[in-house]
Amino acid sequence: MAAKNYKIAVIPGDGTGPEVVNEGLKVLKAAAEKFDFTFSTENFNWGGANYLATGETLPADFKERLEKFDAVLLGAIGHPDVKPGILEKGVLLKLRFDLDQYINLRPVKLYPGVECPLKGKTPEDIDYVVVRENSGGVYTGMGGASLKGTPHEVAIQDMVYNRFQVDRCLRFAFEQVYKRHSKDKPWRGLSPEDIKAGKIGQLTLCGKTNVLTYVFDLWDRAFHEMAAEYPEVKLGYCHVDATCMWMVKNPEWFDVIVTENMFGDIITDLGAITQGGMGIAAGGNINPDGISMFEPIGGSAPKYTGKNVINPLAAIAAVGMMLDFLGEKKAAAAIDRGVAFVTGNKLASMAAGKMGYSTTEVGDLMVEQVKGC
């Protein structure tokens, strides 16, 4: 079979984005050589610096330009000289919405050797994924303001969902359970009774059915209706506030969590810090039928820009997720093992400037791991 060739659109973005993306691409090159595929990249300079220079967040034809690619790799978007909201809405969220990347998949995985702020928790305990709905909720910006600037100012921002959005997100989340586990390799958190009942893993709906009685009534009904199609999945439900508590106290209780957009935004920052912080947390904005975009979930970290001190592992893990999504499972697994080796045996810390290695040296360590695996 001819080796596959992947066309990757690269948006290095702002701040430390380009530095971490470079390391990601270095590892991608090593993986391609090792696992017999090829790739080409094209860079797009969208982000804060481009906005300040041109007044444009994304060009009008960005969608047509990106649709020629198999995936997008994003560094970071954010610039200290640009007012909050402009780049977030004009670049990052516009990419997610217009490319209909309706899933934001965020693994929360504690790698060996990584300092965890949760007392007594080990990599055994922290290994789950959050499926964040990525196309709806308050993020769609429905609402408005009136009487602005007066004491009677009104501001409304609605949490809007339709059944279609909820169903497609739940579908992806149920499927994740089967992607992670099987009858032969069930989730470690299941009880002997669960196994006996034929369960292989667990899906927890994170909501707020006690207050958001319209939106989460919809989610909850859709969840239970769809569950009938997935008898091997053990169902769980947590209110979002309790989810935060359990993510700290008993992260081992989670396998796959599914939730709406803003709850997912919030709980995945909490998840990221439990796995060692933004230096290591990666995510994928996924359109299963279109073009997906992979990113380190930290920001542009302007104060570390150009210093060769930022941790590139999140961007490298994002490359791993991208390869998994493209079907290069072995390459993805090699990167994952490489990250575990490098955190477990090399890095002193996940924090910028404290790794004991520079950004480029961490990339080199990963290249070595991928080549030698």
Task: State the nearest-atom distance from the C-beta of 332 to Mn ion, in Å.
Answer: 24
Task: State the nearest-atom distance from the C-beta of 92 to ligand IPM, in Å.
Answer: 5
| Tokens 């696992």 sit on residue | 35
Task: State the nearest-atom distance from the C-beta of 317 to ligand IPM, in Å.
Answer: 15
Let me know: does 140 contact 95? Beta carbons within 8 Å: no
Among 14, 265, 324, 328, binds ligand IPM (CB under 6 A): 265
- Express the helix, strand and coil content of the chain in percent, nearest 5 each: 40, 20, 40
Task: State the nearest-atom distance from the C-beta of 262 to ligand IPM, in Å.
Answer: 8
DSSP assigned state of 56:
-
Let me know: does 166 contact 219? Beta carbons within 8 Å: yes
Give residues with Cβ within 8 angstroms of 345, minimum separation 6. Answer: 113
User: Where does this chain touch ligand IPM (CB under 6 A) — which range of 88-96, 122-130, 239-247, 270-278?
Assistant: 88-96
88 contributes a contact to ligand IPM by CB under 6 A: yes
Let me know: does 318 contact 21? Beta carbons within 8 Å: no
317 contributes a contact to ligand IPM by CB under 6 A: no
Residues 148-177 close enough to bind ligand IPM by CB under 6 A: none
**Distances 47 to 84, 87, 99, 102, 235 between C-alpha atoms, Å:** 13, 7, 17, 22, 41
Q: Which residue is nearest to Mn ion (CB)?
A: 265
93 contributes a contact to ligand IPM by CB under 6 A: yes
Task: State the nearest-atom distance from the C-beta of 271 to Mn ion, in Å.
Answer: 11
DSSP for 173-191, please give it.
HHHHHHHH--SSS--TT--
92 contributes a contact to ligand IPM by CB under 6 A: yes
Which partner, Mn ion, ligand IPM, none, binds residue 321 by CB below 5 to 8 Å per kind?
A: none
Residues 94-153 close enough to bind ligand IPM by CB under 6 A: none
Task: State the nearest-atom distance from the C-beta of 93 to ligand IPM, in Å.
Answer: 6
Task: Give dist(CA 336, CA 332) in Å, integer.
Answer: 6
265 contributes a contact to Mn ion by CB under 5 A: yes
By C-beta, is 141 or 344 nearer to ligand IPM? Answer: 141
DSSP assigned state of 228:
T
282 contributes a contact to ligand IPM by CB under 6 A: no
Task: Give dist(CA 157, CA 143) in Å, integer.
Answer: 4
- Binding residues for ligand IPM, per CB under 6 A? 88, 92-93, 265, 297
- Binding residues for Mn ion, per CB under 5 A? 265
